[in-house]
Structure 1
C-alpha cells in the first residue's frame, strides 16, 4: 500500500495510490499520522474502503506533500552505516563503530518529494546530498529485540539527508546544526507499507545530481541492519508511532569527490530506492521556491 499526503483543492488530504490514481481517505483519517496510530484497525479500514466502489482521481506528482507533513519528534538518523562511507569520514582518528552512530534532524527539516529546497547560502558554502532509506515506526515500543523489530515497522520512504558540511564540522563534532536547516530532508514520494517490501536489506539505493549518478549501493551493505538500529534506539527510549529513522547513506557524498561536488541553485537531486520510488528536488534560492513535475 502506498500512502500519500497531497493537496486537494488547496487542502491537505490523505490518499492511497493505486495504478497512478488516488483514492481519498481523508474522511476517515485527517492525516497520515492518525492512520499510523490506528494500527491494524487503520489498515483494515483502508482495505474496506479500497474494496468498495470509490472515486479515483489521477495522481499528480506536483500535488504531493511529505507523507508525514508535521512531525511530533525529531528525525532520528544513523551515521556511517555503510563501510565505504565510513572510510570517507572527515576525521581519521575515529575507530569503526561497534554500535550505530546516532544524531537527529529537527522537525522543520521535512520537505516534499518534489519540493524546491531553499539554498542556505548565508549559512553554508558546502551544501551536500545523502540518499537514505527512511523507516517509519508503527507501534509504541521499548527494549525491542532484533527478532521482533520488524513488527514495529509501519513502512518505508526515500529520503535525502541534505547536510551543511562546513557547519557540521564547526560545532565541536556535533552534527545537529549542520543537519537541521529548514526543509533539508525531503521524503516520499509516498509511505510504502512494510508488507510491500519483501526484504528491506536488499534494496538498490541511488542518488543522481543533474542526471549523473553520484551514489549507487544496496541496503545489504549496511553495517547495522534496520532491525539492529531499531533494537539499539529502543534501549532505554520509547519509540512512538510516526517516528522516522534515517538508516545511513552510502559512499559518494559530494564533499569527498574529486573535485568536491556541492549543491547550488538550479541543481536537481534525485534519490531512488527499488520497491519504493523516487524523490526529485531542485535546489533554489528562497524567492524561487517551486515544485517540480515528475
Structure 2
C-alpha cells in the first residue's frame, strides 16, 4: 500500500493511493496515518479494505507529511562511503547518530525556508524507514518485523550551523521545513529490497545526486537492530538513513541553496518531491 496524508497543514486526512494513482479517503476507517494504524494489525486492517469502496479525493490536494505523531526523527551520518569521501571524512566504525527536531517535518512539496543567517543550506536525498512496531533490543533477524514501511526524505542541512559552530550536528539539521517527508509511506511489502533503490536529486534542473541505496554502509536491517540497543523505537518514529554523493558541500566549488532555487528528488518506488526555497520570515 501507498499511504498518504492530504490537505491543509495541520488538517490533513488519511488516504491511500489506488492502482490508478488516485487518492482514496481513509478517514472513515482510521483517524490518521499514525500510532496503532502503523502497527502490523493496523496495517492489515487497512490492507483488507477494498480501495474501490473508498471515496475518491477530487482535485490535486496538498500532500502533507506521510506520517503523523513522529516521536523521534533519527538520522544516520556518513552512511554512504562515496559521500563520506566527497566530504573528506572517513566511514565511521559504527553508525553516526544524530536527531533532527520533529518540528522540521513538513510536506514533500512545501517550501523550504533558508534560515536567517544561513550561508550554507544544503540538500540530501535519503531513504526513510518508518517504525511500525516497538523495537527494543531486537536482533537483525527480527528487525524488519518492526518496520512499517519506507518514505522519501530530503535531509536539508545548514552546513555552517552543523560543522563550523560548536556542538552537535542537530542544530544544523533542525530548522523549520528541513524535514520534507513523503509523498507516501510505502508499506514494507511494496519494496522488495530497500538496499536496491535508485535515488536522485536535482537543483534547478541539474542532477547533482544520482545514487543507489546499494552503496549504503549500514543497511536498514542493521540500523533498526543497532538503534534499538540505545533507545526504544516506536510506531511513527523515522530513521533517515544517509545520502549518496552529490551534496552541495561536495561540489567544487561548493554550492548552496538560495531563495528561488527549486529542488526535485525521488527514490524508486517512493515517489518524488518538489520544493521551492524561500527566505525565512
- Counterparts of residues 240-255 of structure 1 (less than 5 Å): 240-255=234-249
How many angstroms does 1:240 deviate by? 0.7
Q: Does the 8 Å CA contact 1:166/1:178 hold for their aligned counterparts?
A: yes
- Within 1, Cα distance between the matches of 2:9 and 2:217? 44
* Misfit runs of 4+, over 3 Å: 8-11, 34-37
- Within 1, Cα distance between the matches of 2:126 and 2:93? 21
How many angstroms does 1:145 deviate by? 1.2
Q: 1:143 aligns with which of 137, 144, 159?
A: 137
- 5+ residue gaps, structure 1, are 288-294
Q: Aligned residues, how many?
A: 280
- Within 1, Cα distance between the matches of 2:78 and 2:9? 42
Normalised to the residue count of structure 1, the TM-score between the two structures is: 0.89
Worse overlay, 198-207 or 20-29: 20-29
Q: Does the 8 Å CA contact 1:29/1:35 hold for their aligned counterparts?
A: no
- Within 2, Cα distance between the matches of 1:144 and 1:192? 23
Give the corresponding residue for 2:48: 48
How many angstroms does 1:107 deviate by? 0.9
1:204 aligns with 2:205: no
Give the corresponding residue for 1:103: 98
- Within 2, Cα distance between the matches of 1:48 and 1:147? 27
User: Using a 3 Å threshold, how does the CA distance of structure 1 residues 89 and 115 change in structure 2: closer, same or farther?
Assistant: same
Worse overlay, 80-89 or 199-208: 80-89
Give the corresponding residue for 1:292: none
Normalised to the residue count of structure 2, the TM-score between the two structures is: 0.93
Q: Does the 8 Å CA contact 1:76/1:102 hold for their aligned counterparts?
A: yes
Where 2:49 maps in the other structure, the secondary structure is helix
Q: Does the 8 Å CA contact 1:159/1:188 hold for their aligned counterparts?
A: yes
What is the root-mean-square deviation of aligned Cα atoms in Å? 1.9
User: Using a 3 Å threshold, how does the CA distance of structure 1 residues 204 and 159 change in structure 2: closer, same or farther?
Assistant: same
Q: Does the 8 Å CA contact 1:21/1:59 hold for their aligned counterparts?
A: no
- 5+ residue gaps, structure 2, are none
